[in-house]
Structure 1
């Protein structure tokens, strides 16, 4: 199916995360500054049928110099959640190479990351949940933060 994709912003809750490494289960707390926010995981093009393009074969690979003016905002609002944490370059490179290249006809590399940041700012998800009466306890969301506890 050759359809123009729409784009979805994927967000993560940054409370407790459990990870498995070398057959050992490790639980760790995010820095306090990340425990009460939703961050960006990615800006992903999607087709209307629920499938999505990826790794679109662009010759325009990730180049940090293209987004260097966004680095501080990216580290705050689109941080890597890998353990151990890094500076974000590997994560942002993955997101651009896998997903961003599939939206290149609309968004160049700088515009892709800037659009993700702008959408996060515009769509204050945490405030919307609070306004709707959402409540959570004990770290909020389970696992990777994709499960919302029941609304009150």
Structure 2
């Protein structure tokens, strides 16, 4: 009798705790912290910030040339999406993996802005979750930016980056200059002048390209805008080298590498691209034994609280199975 009471007590306590949970009820996970509560000794004394936006259509075209169907553009992704906000030194080097608070990424701290992040800062590689991308950006770059008050927490790092991205929209700046995706190439100088005039208040930006291996075209791939520590636009240094996006998957196969652009580049139209904008189910890393359950609980993945709904859909049947097995074992209740 004691065993029966214990098992059912644990079961109903589990269900009650789960139903009572919500991002708001769980505490101020997404609320702005008091600035004075954050010690400014953390982070790094960097010189300037670089905000990098990528053109997903070009990234997926170049990537799928190397590894077919490895890159997907989620639904509602803007024409230009965020890659990261990176502290830099004037000598060309940059700090990374600094002592931050928290040092390790905590997804709970950004739950209140996760829906916006998923659209503005998506992961294009379905083999990994969106959180794996944000985790990398926070731990490698965000932890080194915490010496600034408005970047002093994980939440503020992502919130401020999205705010600056909206304020200085690459796609809108190009459209104002009548530079739109098309099959014919643009002179690189046209794009540079358009971004100086319409985006960065006359300051130089870095522009990097990708190669379409099948057509041999050079594609406009990313735009990097530089800011001082007060988020005022400054001239970006000339790019010495760029890094491939290999960190998103973390292992082979190889991913496309950005490079310096030639004198003319193609601003690829998404109507001519072979990339896929995915609607519906979000790709997630789940154990193999959960995969058969995904069609049953597919509606949970498209909800605004996918993690909570998915746990509810899986945990209750799981607990029921445990209780059934316990009963069939002959121990009874």
TM bucket (normalised to shorter chain) is: 0.7 to 0.9
Q: TM-score, normalised by structure 1?
A: 0.79
Matched position secondary structure for 1:7: strand
What does residue 122 of structure 2 align with? Answer: 79
The structure 2 residue matched to 1:4, chosen from 43, 46, 64, is 46
The structure 2 residue matched to 1:110, chosen from 155, 161, 165, is 155
TM-superposed CA distance for 1:51, in Å, is: 1.7
- Greater Cα offset, 38-47 or 49-58: 49-58
TM-superposed CA distance for 1:47, in Å, is: 1.2
Per-residue CA deviations over 1:35-79 (Å, capped at 9, x if unaligned) read x61000001111122221111143621111111111001001011
8 Å contact kept, 1:136–1:149: no
Larger of the two Rg values belongs to structure: 2
Whether 2:107 is the aligned partner of 1:64: answer yes
Q: TM-score, normalised by structure 2?
A: 0.39
Distance in structure 2 (CA, Å) of the matches to 1:123 and 1:12: 14
Instruction: Describe the shift of the 1:69–1:33 C-alpha distance in structure 2 as closer, same or farther (beyond 3 A).
Output: closer
Matched position secondary structure for 1:83: coil
What does residue 41 of structure 1 align with? Answer: 83
Instruction: Describe the shift of the 1:63–1:85 C-alpha distance in structure 2 as closer, same or farther (beyond 3 A).
Output: closer
Distance in structure 1 (CA, Å) of the matches to 2:80 and 2:53: 6
Distance in structure 2 (CA, Å) of the matches to 1:59 and 1:29: 32
TM-superposed CA distance for 1:98, in Å, is: 0.3
The structure 1 residue matched to 2:178, chosen from 133, 141, 145, is 133
Aligned pairs, number: 145
Structure with bigger strand share is 1
Distance in structure 2 (CA, Å) of the matches to 1:131 and 1:37: 14
Structure with bigger helix share is 2
Structure with bigger RCO (C-alpha 8 Å, 6+ apart):
1
What does residue 91 of structure 1 align with? Answer: 133
What does residue 164 of structure 2 align with? Answer: 119
Query: RMSD value over aligned CA atoms?
Result: 3.0
